[in-house]
Amino acid sequence: MMLRARDLGLPFSGQPGPFNAITDVAGVRVGFCTLTDPARAMRTGVTAIIPRPDRGTPQPVWAGHYSLNGNGEMTGTHWIDDAGYFLGPVCITNTHGVGAVHHGAVRWMIDTYADHFANHAWAMPVVGETYDGVLNDINALHVTSDHAIAALNAATGGPVAEGSTGGGNGMIAYEFKGGTGTSSRLVGPWTVGALVQANHGIRPWLTMLGRPLGQTMTEGRLLDRERGSIIVVIGTDAPLSGLALRQLAKRATIGIGRGGTPGGNSSGDIFLAFSTANPMLLPSPDQAILHKQELNIEHLDPLYLAAVEAVEEAVINALVAGEDVVAIKPAGLVVRAIDTEALRAAFA
């Protein structure tokens, strides 16, 4: 059974959904392709998020994004800015795998939505990245388009594996083994879920639920300054506009900030928020008027808080799921898992 932060007695605020995961948002599926081969210095992968069951026809997913610090990549965001939506999946991988994963996601979309792409259609999937070059030979370009397709085909609802899974396989956070983490919050009739690929922060910054634990957990230090990144994906079934979703994505800044990071200069801290509400087919040129519901912005504060809490817990879940891993640069260095028993004692 996967150990999670709540199992250690950490007193998080808010009410999570049944899986405490982004998949608590109805219809959202998550899949992984995890690549590990120490003989080839390979520890990497692909994480895939499919926001809605499209049933063979792609449907817009209303969205917004925000960059706290732009030393990273997330494809498709220019169109999100202009249209307020995207089509297809979201994938996360390592920095040098973006092109291969984008290619694979396009192939998957062409195959999945064959009738749609029989016409003059184009694909623009969202692909984000963080750097795994300490634990993985990133220049070997281990990730291929087939790995992206495998992650997408593996996507399911229900519990989500954390830690060294998919794109999170080679990641380090606060100088502990990091990776994939997820959490959710219930807000009245709606759900807000977050999934992170945590590869950010240095140990002295590490804070959990207001406690500066990184200042006492000093063993196994690796870095003298920030060298990583974090991708955050927030999903909800609340009916939000593209503008409101951009505002929701901004709240990931506060969520990761609760963990202690100020968003270092070398960090790519890039956040996406999407809503599965208002399902509809692609707008037709023959449709002059589109009809959809939007939550009054005066009622967004509970959703903002839910996003902050879910992102904060998702990062901690990524750390709790970590395990000791030997680095390739410098060779032989061990990136330690966080001491979960010390965490348990800190909140006893």
From the list 145, 183, 184, 267, the catalytic residue is: 267
> Which residues in the chain land under pLDDT 50?
none
* CATH number, position 135: 3.60.70.12
Active site residue 229: yes
328 domain residue, yes or no: no
347 domain residue, yes or no: no
44 domain residue, yes or no: yes
Active site residue 267: yes
329 domain residue, yes or no: no
Domain around 62: 5-281+293-323+334-341
The neighbouring-strand residues paired with 35 are 44
For residue 316, the model assigns a pLDDT of 98
The pTM (predicted TM-score) of the whole model is: 0.97
104 domain residue, yes or no: yes
140 domain residue, yes or no: yes
Q: Convert the pLDDT of each residue in 317-347 to its tens digit.
A: 999 999 999 999 888 899 999 999 999 999 9
348 domain residue, yes or no: no
Distances (CA, A) of 318 to 76, 95, 322: 26, 19, 7
- 76: CB partners within 8 A, 6+ apart: 86, 124, 125, 126, 127
From the list 184, 229, 241, 275, the catalytic residue is: 229
Per the structure, the count of domains in the chain is 1
346 domain residue, yes or no: no
Q: Convert the pLDDT of each residue in 37-89 to its tens digit.
A: 999 999 999 999 999 987 788 889 999 999 999 999 999 999 999 999 999 99
